[in-house]
Amino acid sequence: MQVWVETHTGHGGVEMPRRFRLDAREIEVIDNLDQWHGPHDRYFKVKGDDGNLYILRLDEIRAEWELIMFQSAQSQAALADFHPSKEPGGGVRM
């Protein structure tokens, strides 16, 4: 999914996402959690002001941004609350 992304210059002169737009919603980036490079791409894992997690990909050749992953705050909370319980005899029940 292509997205519009506004950037700012981060440490070392790297362009970082500041905010982005999905349809009519504008999401402010409140935390840059991770970033990594591909052969012609740059990836950013960010947390939005809506509490959701996103991975944005910048195609450096075409200068186009794409949303490649979304995880809702609700699903993050559900994963954080999940704790497998021990079964008698040492097994793990899931």
pLDDT for residue 11: 79
Q: Where are the domains of the chain?
A: 4-77
Name which of 77, 37, 79, 35 is nearest 54 in CA terms. 35
Name which of 77, 30, 82 is nearest 54 in CA terms. 30
In tens digits, what is the pLDDT along the chain, a chain of 94 residues? Answer: 779 999 999 878 888 999 999 988 999 999 999 999 999 999 999 999 999 999 999 999 999 999 999 999 887 666 666 656 655 555 544 4
